[in-house]
Amino acid sequence: MRILNTLQAAAAVAVAVRLARGRRRLPPLAAPRTPAPTTTARVSVVIPARDEEERLGPCLAAALADPAVTEVVVVDDESRDGTAKLAAGLGARVVAGTPPPEGWVGKQWAVQQGIEAAENEVVVTLDADARPAPGLFGALAAALEEYDLVSVGPRFVCEGVAEQALHASFLTTLVYRFGPIGPSAPPAPHRAVANGQCLAFRRTAMLDADGFARVRGNMADDVALARTLAGGGWAVGFLDGGGLLEVDMHDSAGGVWREWGRSLSLRDVTTPGWQAADLAVVWLAAALPVLRLAAGRPTRLDLGLLTVRFLLAGALRGSYTRPGPGVLLSPLLDPVAALRLTQATLRPVRHWRGRVYPASTTDVRPGRDREGAFLDPDGARPEGVTRGGRTSRPDRNAAR
């Protein structure tokens, strides 16, 4: 018991240090107030879509209506429904996606095709469940003055007490492992995180770096991309974009469990040591206090951790479009979230949207050679990546 309490104290310190970063967060992403060269960039929006007929409409309508967007490219990833017809009917340019080559996960291959088809230098990729607000694309273009790759954290559309509670509990596992969104100082590349529902970058730089090809086999493609490019010298920003972006990810608590739970562990982009450390923090600092409270035997540290957790639940209300009692009740589901995180770590999912990927595809972790250059999953140095890990991308000012 003494050893367990000591480990719990260490986990509590780790969580406290990470939460403290929230006191120095960068300001949320905001729409530009006045037209300026940095906010009037012509933006291409790329949306990979596979069987998204039911969710694509609002995303497309908002993107097409934004004055900063001059084209929306929908890559129809072999959909079996009316995705392509809907996209074309609303005014998007539809690219008929081809089957992913061997070693590629479908989303990365669809995004790669969309980037190649895009006409503008500034590219923003969106998932079909994204709901951009006016000003998002101008704000992202402006952010590219400071960063090479930008992703944003949205507000979530969650209906129902159970769905919201489970979602908020899952979200807490990310905060406990990586800290709040928008840190003022960038994390080490191997701890960088990103949200693949919305990414912004310069087309030439991404193609030169062959970014999506370098993470072609990762199921957690967004975090893999951020960590690989950050390790190669890119300035990667993960900003709070809740005022300009909403996402409607799931339609039930079961959907949260199945769909978000499959990628929550970030298993294929995290070393075994960090996986164990992350699991320990979640179990000791979040799940254990609830379990001990339920058993009627909480320690003082348990009560302190529960207090912190309920305070965090209050802070997380701002992450939801219509926060309800589910967010405040979410600490009670922390043991369930820890269980799902453990399950996803030990038994990673290797299928998505009707496609099954081999085990080797999801166990790829970008590495370095002896000279420090980042390597492809097959051990080759990607084209456009020099020794030392730097990309041979063009000068950022010249690209403008």
For residue 228, give both structure tokens: 């690989």
Average pLDDT of the segment spanning 342-371: 65
Q: 24 or 245: whose pLDDT is higher?
A: 245
Residue 222, Cα to own-chain centre: how many angstroms?
Answer: 5
**pLDDT computed for residue 236 by the predictor:** 97
Distances (CA, A) of 52 to 137, 154, 202, 379: 22, 20, 26, 35
pLDDT band at 76 (very low <50, low <70, confident <90, very high): very high
With beta carbons less than 8 A apart as the criterion, state whether 213 and 322 touch.
no
Same structural domain, 192 and 66: yes
**69-76 and 43-49: which strand pairing?**
parallel
Whether 332 maps to a domain, the answer reads yes
- The DSSP symbol for 154 reads -
Same structural domain, 220 and 135: yes
Which residues form the domain of 267?
A: 2-21+260-353
Whether 221 maps to a domain, the answer reads yes
**pLDDT computed for residue 355 by the predictor:** 77
pLDDT band at 149 (very low <50, low <70, confident <90, very high): very high
Taking the chain, what is the end-to-end CA distance rounded to the nearest angstrom? Answer: 61
SS3 394: coil
Whether 317 maps to a domain, the answer reads yes
Q: Does the pLDDT at position 356 exceed 90?
A: no
CATH of the domain at 114: 3.90.550.10
SS3 374: strand
**pLDDT computed for residue 397 by the predictor:** 40
Same structural domain, 274 and 154: no
pLDDT band at 40 (very low <50, low <70, confident <90, very high): low
Percentage of the chain lying above the pLDDT 70 cut: 87
Burial state string for 248-283 with b = 16 or more CB within 10 A and e = fewer than 16: bbbbebeebbeebbbbbbbbbbbeeeebebbbebbb
Whole-structure pTM value: 0.88
- In tens, the pLDDT along 238-256 reads 999 999 999 998 889 999 9
**pLDDT computed for residue 378 by the predictor:** 44
Same structural domain, 267 and 133: no
Reading phi first (left if > 0) and then psi (alpha if -120 to 50, else beta), residue 51 is in left
Helices of type H across 76-131: 83-90, 106-117
Edge-first strand listing for the sheet containing 93-96: 93-96, 69-76, 43-49, 122-126, 198-202, 149-153, 236-240
- In tens, the pLDDT along 299-320 reads 999 999 999 999 999 999 999 9
Domain count, the chain: 2
Q: What is the mean pLDDT of the chain?
A: 89
Give the end of a domain, one of 232, 252, 272: 252
Whether 391 maps to a domain, the answer reads no
Same structural domain, 338 and 293: yes
Residue 41, Cα to own-chain centre: how many angstroms?
Answer: 24
SS3 120: coil
Average pLDDT of the segment spanning 318-343: 97
With beta carbons less than 8 A apart as the criterion, state whether 123 and 44 touch.
yes
Same structural domain, 33 and 11: no
**pLDDT computed for residue 123 by the predictor:** 98
CA angle 37, 39, 43 (to 5 degrees): 105
Same structural domain, 12 and 31: no
- In tens, the pLDDT along 174-183 reads 999 999 999 8
pLDDT band at 156 (very low <50, low <70, confident <90, very high): very high
Same structural domain, 337 and 197: no
